[in-house]
Amino acid sequence: MRILFLGDIVGRSAREAVAASLPGLRQRLAVDLAIVNAENASHGFGLAPEMARALLAAGADVLTLGNHAWDRREITSFIAEEPRLIRPLNFPPTTPGAGSVTVTLADGRKALVVNAMGRLFLDPLDCPFRTTERLLAQHRLGGTVAAIVIDFHAEASSEKMAYAHSFDGQVSLVAGTHTHCPAADHQVLPGGTAFISDVGMCGDYDSVIGMAKGPASIRFWTRMPGERLAPAEGEPTLCGVFVETDDTTGLALRIAPLRQGGRLSQCMPLCSEHPLPAGGR
């Protein structure tokens, strides 16, 4: 299975770039499953329903969220009706929406997509390790589902690494989100799970993690709230990862970063018809 995962969309320019680019990326990489973290898509804070609909219409199979899940009040009723939009599964049990969804692909294969959130330096939610363990007990990689992808939305790279190692061999991909800075530690772990501690954001990198530089920087000088933060709206870089899995086991064969547009160095993965160079896994 070919999986494309794009990191946190920040603001209008990034949202529009993802919507415009996703159909072409799906075709170029022969993508079977496309997942996008959209928790900052609406002006940098939360996700409005009409923007979720636009991203799904552009080719996202699943949208994930994070600590800004509830910044837009109108998302509460929408998420209860749209199973392709998921929020962290370790929110309390009465929280609207779901923390996972099973997607049926065009060829009939099924993929489980999970959203979980870390607790180190973030809200003290239920334990993401134990809630994930309970969920995975209901699914078998390479059996009931052909792939399992987890968006682990967390601040600390240590927590992300510990989480990925905990479920190595049980899932296809653990993709870290939230910090908005692409990591260089993409790898296939010993048990066959692809991992990256943070895929980075889809946003303007001439910024402070996606926000306009001036108001964001002055807060560190003054320690005062100051002007309301707003997304930087220059040319965005789309950041993510491309993963190919074994059709029998569901485990990862390779993982490669994707960076397109904007200020960062460009990197476009190759699909299996054009294998990655040695060491590309």
175 three-state secondary structure: strand
Sign of the C-alpha dihedral computed for residues 268, 272, 274 and 276 taken in this order: positive
Q: Active site residue: 43, 68, 153, 186, which one?
A: 68
Asked if residues 15 and 58 have their Cβ atoms less than 8 Å apart, the reply is no
The verdict on whether 68 is a catalytic residue reads yes
**Angstrom distance (rounded) from CA 169 to CA 149:** 12
Q: How far apart are the first and last CA of the chain?
A: 15
Tell me what percent of the chain is helix, strand and coil, each rounded to the nearest 5: 25, 25, 50
Rounded to the nearest 5 degrees, what angle is found at the Cα of 204, between the Cα atoms of 199 and 205? Answer: 65
Query: Per DSSP, which regions of 207-271 are E strands?
Result: 238-245, 252-260
Catalytic residues, by residue number, are: 68
